[in-house]
Amino acid sequence: MGKIYDVDANVLVDKAAEALKKSENVVPPDWAMFVKTGVHKERPPQQNDWWYKRAAALLRKVYMVGPIGVNKLRRLYGGKKDRGSKPEHFFKGSGKIIRLILQQLEMDGYVKYQEKGVHKGRVITPKGMAFLDKVSK
């Protein structure tokens, strides 16, 4: 049986995004077609299904790193902003997008919030592990 560590990340995210499109809880909001994914971006995403790809990438990241919080995910999805003649500066990604996708994945039962212990944040559930392992075959 294949695990997500044995598969190329891009292939896994694409396959998982296709499977997440069938979910009734993971749905892009109305404003998703107009919004940038961070302050460092100049334009919104050009792909129509970018919401599902971001959801699949977040699910993979929670599987591999979890427990992980929104702030660390914002740092992972951030980037350098072109500020003209001034030096480039790093900016975090959009927290609203990450938070909303994680809430949608929680409604599907793929991730859950872990409060106890030193490490707080989102962790993958057995249902989420089974979903990604099935997609990675």
Go through the domains of the chain in sequence order and give each one's CATH number: 4-135 (1.10.10.10)
pTM of the model: 0.86
Q: Is the pLDDT of residue 136 over 90?
A: no
- Asked if 112 and 122 touch (Cβ cutoff 8 Å), the reply is yes
Does residue 101 have a pLDDT over 60? yes
What mean pLDDT do residues 26-32 have?
87
Phi, psi of 34 (to 5 degrees): -110, -15
CA distance 25 to 104: 6
Indicate left, alpha or beta for 120 from its phi (over 0: left) and psi (-120 to 50: alpha): beta
Assess whether pLDDT exceeds 80 at residue 118. Answer: no
Q: Which amino acid is at 75?
A: R
Is the pLDDT higher at 4 or at 15?
15
